[in-house]
Amino acid sequence: MARTALLNVMVQAATKAGRSLARDFGEIENLQVSRKGPGDFVSQADHKAEKIVREELQKARPTYGLLMEEAGEIEGTDGQHRWIIDPLDGTTNFLHGIPIFGVSIALERAGQIVASVIYNPIMDELYTAEKGSGAFCNDRRLRVAARKDLTDCLIGTGIPFIGVGDHGRALKEIRHVMGEVAGIRRAGAAALDLAWVASGRLDAFWENGLHAWDMAAGILLVREAGGFVSDANGKDNMFESRTIIAGNEFTHLQLRELLAKAKA
């Protein structure tokens, strides 16, 4: 697969940060006796990965703005371009030694996501997409799953945890969905969940309470793999509403209708 210079910059940043995370992931077993504690360690790994991504991207495109999970927003002089970065999506998985986490980078141009990279360094899976050029995993072209009936489908979601999110809403939604599908999965990394929809591993995905950096790269991946993405109301307003539903033409619509019934 031929990549543009811009996508190569993103791939280099994501893989370099991913290698750093993989090295730190190898130290997880030693954290049980660490005086600093695992929370501090993860924070250090997170910040180190973000620093790597930021430096690589700013070196290549110094005028672009940045929106980062850890450091927040930095306005660029360009005015049209913004990097949206999650240096460690799946922090809790990382902390517990579960190899489902990744680096997520998206490029926004004039409010539209035009390029995406998501990298899981443990599985060595590199997901890439550019607007109008398709979605890929390690240079293999991706297509969303073709299933049309939710009863045959495996659906991904996120579940809120202590002190975060609307627990009552989550329980109502899961109750409405679980009796209509083949299974529900909660992998713990929204960027990878969306990448898995793009690759056909999951037939659809929904979650509430996400941030832009959790879903920006995945949105483009799903769409370039032939899928549909919207917020809970069927609109292209995911960042503001902090909700997302993704799937193929059929699963996206059916899942959105099920979730609407949960609100009734």
Distance in angstroms (rounded) separating the CA atoms of residues 78 and 238: 24
Distance in angstroms (rounded) separating the CA atoms of residues 98 and 94: 6
Give the torsion sign (CA, 204, 207, 213, 219): positive
Condensed to tens digits (0 to 9), the pLDDT of residues 187-224 reads 999 999 999 999 999 999 999 999 999 999 999 999 99
pLDDT over 90 (residue 45): no
Query: What pLDDT score does 28 carry?
Result: 74
Could you give the angle at the alpha carbon of 186 between the alpha carbons of 259 and 96, nearest 5°? Answer: 150
Give the residue-averaged pLDDT of 98-103: 96
Condensed to tens digits (0 to 9), the pLDDT of residues 214-246 reads 999 999 999 999 999 999 999 999 999 999 999
Provide the CA 225 distance to its chain's centre, in angstroms.
15
H or E, element range at 11: helix 5-25
The DSSP secondary-structure symbol of 4 reads -
Query: What pLDDT score does 36 carry?
Result: 45
Most confident of 23-37, 155-169, 227-241: 227-241
Q: Which two tokens stand for residue 143?
A: 């297509």
Question: What pLDDT band is residue 70 in, cutting at 50, 70 and 90?
Answer: confident
Strand stretches in 110-257, DSSP E: 112-120, 125-130, 135-137, 140-141, 154-157, 183-185, 204-208, 228-230, 243-247
Query: What pLDDT score does 38 carry?
Result: 55
Which has the higher per-residue pLDDT, 38 or 12?
Answer: 12
Query: What pLDDT score does 72 carry?
Result: 86
Q: 152, 118, 159: which is closest to 137 by C-alpha? A: 118
- Share above pLDDT 70 across residues of the chain, in percent, rounded to a whole number: 94
Residue pair 252/245 in contact by the 8 Å Cβ criterion: yes
Question: What pLDDT band is residue 26 in, cutting at 50, 70 and 90?
Answer: confident
Question: What pLDDT band is residue 31 in, cutting at 50, 70 and 90?
Answer: low
Strand stretches in the chain, DSSP E: 65-68, 72-74, 81-89, 102-109, 112-120, 125-130, 135-137, 140-141, 154-157, 183-185, 204-208, 228-230, 243-247
Question: What pLDDT band is residue 39 in, cutting at 50, 70 and 90?
Answer: low
Query: What pLDDT score does 32 carry?
Result: 47
- Output the average pLDDT for the chain: 93
Residue pair 11/53 in contact by the 8 Å Cβ criterion: no
pLDDT over 90 (residue 66): yes
Condensed to tens digits (0 to 9), the pLDDT of residues 113-140 reads 999 999 999 999 999 999 999 999 998 9
Q: Which two tokens stand for residue 171?
A: 């329980």
pLDDT over 80 (residue 2): no
Give the residue-averaged pLDDT of 98-111: 97
- Beta-bridge partner residues of 115: 107, 130
